[in-house]
Structure 1
Amino acid sequence: MKKIIICLIMLCSLAVQAKEFTEVVEISGKNKSQLYSSAREWFAETFKSAEDVLQMDDSIAGKLIGKGMGDITVKSGMVPVSFNYDFTVKVFIKEGKYKYIIQDIAVISEGIRTNYEDYEAAKEKFKNKKKRVAFFDEILNSIDSDMTQIVVSLKTKMKGIEDDW
């Protein structure tokens, strides 16, 4: 079943704009060093191994880039189907502000990596097949929900008060 779904998605890929979560967030009262430290701590707390996740860690340039993974379970008819997905998280830091970008989101099933955008294209291609569209929607909504939680946790950590014990 998974193989059929993956093949259908790959066959109906269209030129769709890449899915991306991004924002510039201003944080008054925090300098670049404090924001960098908060972002680095967030990576360590959010992912199992920040050292394995981080692909770039440059405190001078104020850049942190990591590759994250997650998993979702959705129903295909009455049967739960589990998928892994991966994504890239970039955090750029300047005095009093930071920018995050979450991009390159892809679902991984049976060793095949399918871009988020291909699922959106598949929804359009199969718009007359309600069950299939509902299945694709469930995958995309689950990933969107996870990405929203990641953004909320990053924002919370970045605006947090430094513990001056």
Structure 2
Amino acid sequence: MSIVVRLGMLAVGGFLPMVAAAADLTEEQRTLVQVFDAPGHDKAAIYTAGRQWIAENFNSAKAVIEYESKDDGTIIGNGNINYPCASAWECLGKPDWTVPFTMRLEAKDERFRLTFSNVRLHWPAKINAGIRQPEFDGPVRSAKDMDKIRPKLLMFGDEINASLVTRKAGDNW
């Protein structure tokens, strides 16, 4: 286990160091896999709904999608979300943090699997209170960060499922 020293509370004559444990996660611990049921929907419908959801929820499906095969029911793309802060106070310190990731959707009749891998953190360089913080773009290292990121990413499956239902209802216009 490694130790990270961070500047903490202001004390007379300077800052007191705060010590925090930085437990590096393995790639396996940063990879999320979940299977979602989609009763009544075939592979083609799930694939189309997933592709449409990506186009509607990311800036550009063309820029996001790295590989797709309608025959296989597979879409692989690179996405990016804002860091999911636990509180307004935390967001004040991390307003420009993002979470880049690779997302893989694999469709079969009546179900699909989402896999999130290469989950990273990114923040730009900045100067705060005269202290320079360098840019960072690397793997998520702490379980605490993954615990905040995991629900946000896995929510995509529920949203894709909801778009299947909405899409089917919207086809009848």
Q: Deviations over 1:65-85 (max 9, x none)?
A: 111111237556x95233111
Q: 1:27–1:159: 8 Å Cα contact kept in structure 2? A: no
Q: Deviations over 1:47-94 (max 9, x none)?
A: 111111111121111110111111237556x95233111011110112
Residue 159 (structure 1) shift: 4.6
Residue 141 (structure 1) shift: 4.5
Of the two structures, which has the highest relative contact order with CA contacts closer than 8 Å and spacing of 6 or more? 1
Q: Secondary structure at the match of 2:53?
A: helix
> Is it true that 1:115 corresponds to 2:139 in the alignment?
yes
Q: Which runs of 5+ in 1 are unaligned?
A: 121-136
> Is it true that 1:32 corresponds to 2:43 in the alignment?
yes
Paired with 1:38 and 1:79, the residues of 2 have a C-alpha distance of 35
Q: Secondary structure at the match of 2:107?
A: strand
Equivalent residues, number: 142
Q: 1:19–1:104: 8 Å Cα contact kept in structure 2? A: yes
Query: Runs of 4+ in structure 1 displaced over 3 angstroms?
Result: 11-17, 73-76, 139-142, 158-161
Residue 38 (structure 1) shift: 0.9
Q: 1:73–1:80: 8 Å Cα contact kept in structure 2? A: no
Q: Secondary structure at the match of 1:48?
A: coil
> Is it true that 1:97 corresponds to 2:103 in the alignment?
no
Q: 1:84–1:109: 8 Å Cα contact kept in structure 2? A: yes
Which has the greater radius of gyration? 2
Q: 2:105–2:114: 8 Å Cα contact kept in structure 1? A: yes
Q: Which runs of 5+ in 2 are unaligned?
A: 7-18, 125-134
Larger strand share, 1 or 2: 2
Larger helix share, 1 or 2: 1
Paired with 1:26 and 1:51, the residues of 2 have a C-alpha distance of 27
